[in-house]
Chain A
């Protein structure tokens, strides 16, 4: 009866997620800082400039928080609940002195991204010579990335919204080579599975799904008349270093990624690594 599996596999492979473009409504934006009021206002203006492409359909409401207004995590969460923003903007190591050691995001950011459902735009910390503060304008190249890109509609909706009309959307997927090799080593010890066939077929299928999704997103955006250049970056590799290279090579202005993992309280592993390590560019955390 292996032929049943064979044909089911063919049809499952042919059954692909369909992308339907939807506008994301971002009306209320909350900017969290621990800066003195004046600097906070200046920082808020830069954020507003960065988000200039947003809210084309809606009127935006802005709230810039300064000083110690949200010094405790409880105060921060209460403000988010009370103000009900569509987007929270903050930077790495908010209300933390650990910014000198680039090994974490801070308690505030880690709790914020996991407790609330509101997307968090994590920006470079002020004064960290990232160049972001001195730059102007909205993001042009937005990269959406995940370890399971295919079918993630929400991720793409946000990425499209931030790229804005005429921008460039890159859909990136790096398949974890070390994990793949681990499974291949196991398969090589199983006499019933031909190793070379398994290697070629599994690798091809792993890369095919995100590529197909990217093609579907491009087609879906075209169907909806969205003017955006769509590209896909799909490859095997070590995730963090590969994403780092892709970000640099493609001059990415904004990364968009999921941070929640239904099976755990902590932030999704890869998202955390990227948010901590790629400190110089803004990251939208969903």
Chain B
């Protein structure tokens, strides 16, 4: 946060327990509303927006908000509405910048080029296709974001399996890919929003995050794909004729179809590599380290937009404003809850969990985070726990941070509403008339999720504690 709160605002304030409990009820109502998002037929941003308005009004009424001027590092006073510094603009900038960057880069045909090349590489063999699409899902989830990864790989899966006459395996492919998006989302600091929130709060560098997460991601991906193939009867093709026929079908894909300019394709490829490198080294780059990853993401988005200077508004239209509005509202609610001592109250509960010891505390926190993330959005959980762990003075190298990261990401694999990318997978299933109810998804996904959570718990307890 750029601004320090004024001395008046910093002054410790006592909040009656009754008031804290009242605000806790508001927070619980918000979490329940998010869990029932589909039943309410309301977008997340609106749900959180309503609660942000209510929280701010209540905070003002109970005299909990730090109204007054802000003082920056030069000692200059600035008057900002109380809800503006409540928002973590660094996180918003990363999400806005990277989504614009990915959207413009997609226009070059780069991601579809890679996706089709991999399809051809499989020769139309279902098992090879599953492994290649699985690997692609993980890498795209890590480099782009898990929703975009699911959309790209899921769409290609539909088209290629239809072409190969393998529609009977479509459900299994989409399910496994959906589950892998949340594993891929663990790979880097910017791969998922919980990573960004927790990583920023814990001050974990991009490189450290990658080095810690990568071994788990590789093993969990391999096991998930192996199980996916085994449980769904996805096997290699047998016989020369069948193999030749499948190969000729996928040969009909034209990876250059969406490419309008080779120059822009190579520029996009170069910029993508550069983007990852700069993000990875942000903390050590002079000047850039002060400006942060949000600046890097926005700067790369602006650089890419120059190619479409006359029609940038089309990209602005494509930005997920619901997601950004959701984050902004959520940060406001959490800020109010902090002032109402709700986070302190939850922190006291968390202290009991941590007191279970290195093994018990870390393990319980991971599993509890997963269960919570499976029924509602993992972002409020990550934001809340980051605040609480930070408030408890948890060191950067504590395994507790990783419990939140692994739990929040993998919890999305238990139910279809656990993460946005699994919801996309289910949406694609429904779009193509594949039956998949909420319970049907849980029934199919839980065995994978259990294996992944056991693996994650063991990994955190053995290697990161």
- Residues of chain A at the chain B interface (Cβ within 8 Å): 1, 3-4, 6-8, 10-18, 20, 212
| Residues of A contacting B258 in the complex (Cβ-Cβ under 8 angstroms) | 10, 13-14
Chain B 91-122 interface 0/1 with A at a Cβ cutoff of 8 Å (1 = within): 00000000000000000010010011000000
Beta-carbon contact of B251 and A18 below 8 Å = yes
Give the Cβ gap from B255 to chain A, nearest Cβ, in Å. 7
* Number of B residues with CB within 8 Å of any CB on chain A: 28
Other-chain residue from B158, B253, B318, B427 in contact with A14 (beta carbon distance below 8 A)? B253
User: Judging by beta carbons under 8 Å apart, are A14 and B254 in contact?
Assistant: yes
Q: Which of chain B's residues have a CB closer than 8 A to the CB of A212?
A: 254
**Which residues of the other chain, B, contact A13 by a CB distance below 8 angstroms?**
257-258
Determine how close the nearest CB of chain A comes to the CB of B20; give it in whole angstroms: 39
A3 surroundings in chain B (CB, below 8 A): 148, 151, 318
A10–B163 alpha-carbon span in the complex (Å): 15
Q: Which residue of A lies closest to B259 (CB)?
A: A14
Chain B residues closer than 8 Å to A1, beta-carbon distance:
424, 427
Chain B residues whose C-beta falls within 8 Å of the C-beta of A16 in the assembled complex: 252-254, 257
Q: A14-B257, A18-B252 are in contact. Are A7 and B156 (CB under 8 A)?
A: yes
With an 8 A cutoff between CB atoms, is B248 at the interface? yes
Contacts A1-B424, A7-B112 hold; do A15 and B431 have CB atoms under 8 A apart?
no
Question: Do most interface residues of chain B lie in helix, strand or loop, or is the interface mixed?
Answer: helix
Pick from A8, A10, A12, A20 the residue with the most CB of B within 10 Å: A10
- Tell me the bound Cα distance from A20 to B155 in angstroms: 27
Bound complex: CA of A15 vs CA of B160, how far in Å? Answer: 8
Shortest A97–chain B CB gap in Å is 50
Chain A hits for B163, CB < 8 A:
15
A1-B427, A12-B159 are known contacts; what are 15 more A-B pairs with Cβ within 8 Å?
A3-B151, A7-B112, A8-B155, A8-B158, A10-B112, A11-B112, A14-B112, A14-B253, A15-B252, A15-B254, A16-B252, A16-B254, A18-B249, A18-B252, A212-B254
Contact A4–B112 (Cβ < 8 Å): no
**A10: B residues at CB distance < 8 A:** 109, 112, 155, 257-258
B159 and A11 within 8 A (CB): yes
The answer to whether A14 touches B151, judged by C-beta atoms less than 8 angstroms apart, is: no
Q: Is B178 an interface residue (CB 8 A)?
A: no
Give B234-258 interface residues, CB cut-off 8 Å to A. Answer: 248-249, 251-255, 257-258
Residue of B nearest to A9 (CB): B155
Measured between beta carbons, the chain B residues less than 8 angstroms from A17 are 252
- A17 to B251 CA separation, bound complex (whole angstroms): 9
Smallest CB separation, A197 vs chain B (Å): 9
Partner of A4, one of B160, B249, B252, B424: B424
For B249, the chain A residues whose CB sits under 8 A away are: 18
Contacts of A7 in B (CB 8 A): 112, 151-152, 155-156
The docked-state distance in angstroms from the alpha carbon of A41 to that of B279 is 84
Q: How far is the CB of B160 from chain A (nearest CB, A)?
A: 8
Label chain A's interface by main secondary structure: helix
Q: Is A15 a contact partner of B155 (Cβ separation < 8 A)? A: no
B112 to chain A: which residues have CB within 8 Å?
7, 10-11, 14
Q: How far is the CA of A13 from the CA of B159 in the complex (A)?
A: 10
Q: How far is the CA of A14 from the CA of B152 in the complex (A)?
A: 13
Please judge, given known A-B contacts A17-B252, A18-B248, whether A11 and B156 are in contact too, CB under 8 Å: yes
Closest to B318 in A: A3
Complex Cα distance A14/B257, Å? 5
Which chain A residues border B109 with CB–CB below 8 Å? Answer: 10
CB<8 Å pairs between A and B, sample of 9: A1-B424, A4-B154, A4-B431, A7-B151, A11-B116, A11-B158, A14-B258, A18-B251, A20-B248
User: Which A residues are CB-close (under 8 A) to B350?
Assistant: none
Chain A residues whose CB sits within 8 angstroms of the CB of B252 once the complex forms: 15-18
Cα separation A3 to B155 with both chains bound (whole Å): 10
| Shortest Cβ distance from residue A223 to the other chain B in the assembled complex, whole angstroms | 11
Which residues does B use to contact A, with CB under 8 Å? 109, 112, 115-116, 148, 151-152, 154-156, 158-160, 163, 248-249, 251-255, 257-258, 318, 424, 427-428, 431
A27 to chain B minimum Cβ distance, whole angstroms, is 27
- How many angstroms between the C-alpha atoms of A185 and B154 in the bound complex? 35
Chain B residues with Cβ below 8 Å from A14 are: 112, 116, 253-255, 257-258
Q: Assess whether A4 is in contact with B155, with CB atoms less than 8 Å apart.
A: yes
Chain B residues with Cβ below 8 Å from A12 are 159
Q: A10 CA to B427 CA in the complex, in Å?
A: 18
CB distance from B21 to the nearest CB of A (A): 39
Q: In this complex, which of A6, A7, A20, A212 has the most chain B Cβ atoms within 10 angstroms of its Cβ?
A: A7
- A6 to B237: give the CA distance in the assembly, Å: 31
What residues of chain A lie closer than 8 Å to B248, measured between beta carbons?
A: 18, 20
Residue contact B151 to A4, C-beta cutoff 8 Å: yes
Chain A residues with Cβ below 8 Å from B155 are 4, 7-8, 10-11
In the assembled complex, the Cα of A7 lies from the Cα of B431 at a distance in Å of 14
Q: Which residues of B are found within 8 Å of A18, using beta-carbon distances?
A: 248-249, 251-252
Cα separation A4 to B424 with both chains bound (whole Å):
8
Distance between B161 CB and nearest chain A CB, rounded to angstroms: 11
| A4-B428, A4-B431 known; A15 vs B151 contact (CB < 8 Å) | no
B257 and chain A: residue at smallest CB distance: A14
- A15 / chain B contacts, CB cutoff of 8 Å: 159-160, 163, 252-254
Q: Which residues of B contact A6 (CB under 8 A)?
A: 151
C-alpha gap A234/B258 in the complex (Å)? 20
Task: Give the complex CA separation of A16 and B159 in angstroms.
Answer: 11
Cα separation A1 to B151 with both chains bound (whole Å) = 9
Bound Cα distance A177, B151 (Å): 35
Closest A residue by C-beta to B249: A18
Task: Determine the distance from Cα of A20 to Cα of B245 in the docked complex, in whole angstroms.
Answer: 12
**Known contacts A18-B251, A20-B248: does B427 contact A8 (CB below 8 Å)?**
no
CA distance A12 to B258 in the complex (A): 11
Flag if B424 contacts A8 (CB, 8 Å): no
Q: A150 → chain B, closest Cβ, in Å? A: 12
Query: How far in angstroms is the closest Cβ of chain B from A260?
Result: 25
The distance in angstroms between the C-alpha atoms of A18 and B152, with both chains bound, is 23
Nearest chain B CB to A167 CB, angstrom units: 26
Min C-beta distance of A24 to chain B, whole Å: 20
Q: Report the Cα distance A11→B118, complex, angstroms.
A: 13
